[in-house]
Amino acid sequence: MALLKTKSNKPNKPAFSDPALELVYRSWQRNRERAPELALKVVEVYAQAHGVPVQHLLRRFAEAEASQAPQAAPEAHGGPSGKGAATPIPPLASEAATARQGPEEGPSASHVQDAILAVQQSKGDPLGVDTSKPLLGGGSRYSGFQGLEEIRYPVDCCTPAAPARNRLQDWLSWLRDLIENTLEEARRSGDVERAATLEELLALLEAKGLEAGPVKLFLLLAYLGRRYLREKWGRKASRKASQVAFHLPNDLLAAYIGVDRVTVWRWMEVLKAAGLADARRHRSWAVINEQPGFYTTGNVWLVRLKPGRVRWDYADLAHPWRHLDEDREDGHTAYRVLWPQGKGKGKNRKKPIRPSLELLVRWTLGIREAPPPEVLLTRRDPTDIAELFALTDLDPQERPDAIQALAERMAHNLGDPHSVKFYMRVLWRVVEGKVPATAVYNAYRAAYSPIRQRLHGEGPGQVRRPGALFAAILLQVPGVREALAA
């Protein structure tokens, strides 16, 4: 029910006889909108000090507020048009803790002082013994409330839930502001060509949104750049930096978007002309196939995070982003990520596996993950489980069927058809990141090796229970037993 707020020159009459409770109530009224989490914290501190439920205090506060508010005119409830000067009741209870706050809002000194004074000035139990009555303090102006002992409506029955934040819309709004502010800067500097490109990009954003290739590419680059800054130097770095440079092979970027690498470069031409992003090849000294020289390790991406134009620095390209010879020896290459079983030729040419977004983030941080070299086969082996490494890249709705099919194949190959659920649990823990995919793959190869030897006559192949051998090897990996037991 909406209440009409009116200004009065007379000070509000205390709602509670206890000064400490009155202080908590006034602090809750003043801070519930600008600092809802802290307002609720003050109430929780007082409730804990006096051994009363938080919901009970919030209910009493709402009743006190209703008793002190002047009766609203009929127009305040909407009138014939459904619109009025009414102010909705602010969120209470759990809504107060989850209400949306500005990114830069924080508790002030007065907020903390309220919480301290409320506890220091608390003496005895001002709530009394009988808590079933809606005690409104000594000076309630509505005597009719004293008779409402049996009819007590819950405070948050009609409070609308806080709307869920659309993170994608936040990113699009941020990009729109960035382009508009950069456009103003380009116009002031007299850069006509760059201003024209920014106008075209802004029109493209308004017309197509994420369906526009340059928009999609820039948002992905901006996300990777902010994650890179946050993981390297903390949250403040991602908010304060005006631009960011990071290293990532173009093949991984194109595979994630689902386009050819040439398309990525075509979109980059638009972003480069707008001054919002740029990319250059990174070369470093390495010895490849006993041939020393400078080799291309990938691309360095420069992304603007605040209005302005990207500007290259010597350190952006001189930084040792990658040791290519070591990554090649360890098998940590983009080729192994995108084609774990080989690319193929002609009609047998395979499409690259779509990497996950978190994999791209780890690669920007120098944590280059890829399937082990043993996965690269010259021909398709029906007993191999190389698709294990692609489970995390599947869409959520595709994972259950893929996991069940792979678990059934693993159980069949290891002669353990009654343990399909166990293999499914293992695969789900791989998707959740609790069990390393490499550990599962190596355990499976070790358990299936005796069967392969027996089938191809390469050895005795003496193993009674390959499934038990698989479980025993896998459980030796630190953390796997706890992950499967959870």
Residues 6+ apart with CB under 8 A from 206: 176
Burial label for 162, CB within 10 Å (0-12, 13-18, 19+), is: middle
- Report whether 249 contacts 334 (CB < 8 A): yes
Is position 4 within any domain? no
Same domain, yes or no: 175 and 78: no
Domain boundary residue, one of 102, 124, 157 = 157
User: Across 156-276, where does the E strand assignment appear?
Assistant: 243-248
- Please indicate, yes or no, if residue 219 is contained in any of the structural domains: yes
Same domain, 413 and 474: yes
In three-state form (DSSP H/G/I as H, E/B as E, the rest C), the secondary structure along 131-158 is CCCCCCCCCCCCHHHHHCCCCCCCHHHC
- Does residue 356 or residue 87 have the better pLDDT? 356
Co-location of 182 and 260 in the same domain: yes
- pLDDT tier for residue 17 given thresholds of 50, 70 and 90: confident
Same domain as 312, residue 451: no
Q: Are residues 153 and 173 in the same domain?
A: no
Highest mean pLDDT among 49-53, 64-68, 439-443, 456-460: 439-443
Q: Give the max Cα distance, the chain.
A: 99
Question: SS3 for 3?
Answer: strand
Closest CA to 430 of 472, 387, 398: 387
- pLDDT at position 148, please? 35
Average pLDDT over residues 190-205: 93
Q: Mean pLDDT across the chain, nearest whole number?
A: 74
**Same-domain status, 172 and 153:** no
Question: Which amino acid is residue 257, in one-letter code?
Answer: I
Task: State whether residue 300 is helix, strand or coil.
Answer: strand
The pair of structure tokens assigned to 215 is 């928009």
Q: What is the pLDDT of residue 1?
A: 38
Instruction: Establish if 71 belongs to a structural domain.
Output: yes
Which among 74-88, 349-363, 386-400 has the top mean pLDDT? 349-363
Domain identity same for 206 and 275? yes
- Shared-domain flag, residues 414 and 442: yes
Query: Which pLDDT band holds residue 201 (cuts at 50, 70, 90)?
Result: very high
Residue 364 identity:
T
Asked whether residue 206 is assigned to any structural domain, the reply reads yes
- Asked whether residue 295 carries a pLDDT value surpassing 90, the answer given is no
pLDDT of residue 204: 92
CA 205/CA 207 separation, integer angstroms: 6
| Assessment of whether the complete model's pTM goes beyond 0.95 | no
CA atoms within 13 A on the CB side of 185: 13
Rg (CA), the chain: 32
In the chain, how many domains are there? 3
* pLDDT above 90: residue 305: yes
Indicate the residue type of 217: L
Which among 333, 448, 438 is positioned nearest to 382, based on CA atoms? 448
Of residues 126 and 327, which shows the higher confidence score? 327
Structure confidence by residue, pLDDT tens digits, 230-245: 888 888 888 899 999 9
Instruction: For residue 454, name the pLDDT band (cuts at 50, 70, 90).
Output: low
- Whether 7 maps to a domain, the answer reads no
Q: Is residue 204 part of a domain?
A: yes
Range 391-405 average pLDDT: 81
Q: Name the residue among 117, 132, 128 with its Cα closest to residue 50.
A: 128
Name the one residue in this structure whose structure tokens are 């193993």. 463
The verdict on 115 and 235 lying in the same domain is: no
Q: Which domain holds residue 437?
A: 381-485
**Is residue 144 included in any domain, yes or no?**
yes
What's the number of CA atoms in the CB half-sphere (13 Å) around residue 381?
18
Q: Are residues 147 and 173 in the same domain?
A: no
Q: Are 243 and 305 in contact (CB under 8 A)?
A: yes
Regarding whether 226 and 153 lie in a shared domain, the answer is: no
Is 14 among the domain residues? no
Q: Which of 273, 290, 320 is the last residue of a domain?
A: 320
198 plus 140 within the same structural domain = no
Report the pLDDT value the prediction gives residue 137, as an integer from 0 to 100: 37
Output the pLDDT for position 147.
40
> Which domain-ending residue is among 285, 305, 320?
320
How does pLDDT run across 43-60, given as a tens digit for each residue? 887 777 777 788 778 878
